[in-house]
Structure 1
Amino acid sequence: MKFELPGQLRGPECRRVISLAIALRRRLEPWSASIIHSDIDTLSIVLRIDGSLGTFGPPGVEGVAVNSGVLACDLVIEDFGWDGVSDDRIDSILAERVVDAIAECFRHVGLPAPSADLLEVADGG
């Protein structure tokens, strides 16, 4: 299964989050490639990163759906004051939230929840 982690930003300071999300996606790609599902070929977690220019709404996962072989959801991450947060902390926030979103997407289609080791992989461990 392919893994996508696109994003939308609500402020220029959120660019740091996206660059770290790219690294997270790369860490998770080998894991996602091992997932086989007859009706789903892509998992897409769309990051919606709140910042100085506003919010996308309440934090969390919303809109889980399957369409044309793509299992997708939106993941709203609240503004943490990104300019004052270390890269390590941003990476941990992303890893935890994305793994939770993956688990919610999998529940939606009846796939078993990812193993606890996935958070360690996502967090760079």
Structure 2
Amino acid sequence: MKMLLLDYFCVLLAVLADLISGVRKAKMRGEKCTSSGLRRTVDKIGRYYLALFSMTIIDALLIASLHYLKSSGVNLIPLFPYLTSFGALALALIEVKSICERSDEKGDLRTTVAQLLDLLTRLRLK
């Protein structure tokens, strides 16, 4: 149980670290922090925890199966939430990568929309 709490807490810390990093980078560029950016963070936390919860349910089924086998005299592997822990590690590493990326390389939605509109305009002219 402690391991699961640690997994969930570490993912939350990674997302919050990415949020703080993003706010700092936005302030350095002179951009305003908007509610849409904060909503994206809340949405990200929801998606991450939904994935982690799904992995935890699979781990619980696996651990119950292994516990049943262990009580029958078969001891295959130790009881541990493998999927949840590896999933939490993967999600935390994604956030670390996001923090380490330079903000000008991330691709802004406004820039992408402007480029798409420019491309559509050029295609119409031909």
Name the TM-score, length of structure 1 as normaliser. 0.36
Q: Report the structure, 1 or 2, having the larger strand content.
A: 1
Q: Report the structure, 1 or 2, having the larger helix content.
A: 2
Q: Which has the higher contact order (CA 8 A, sep 6+)?
A: 2
Structure of larger gyration radius:
2
Name the TM-score, length of structure 2 as normaliser. 0.36
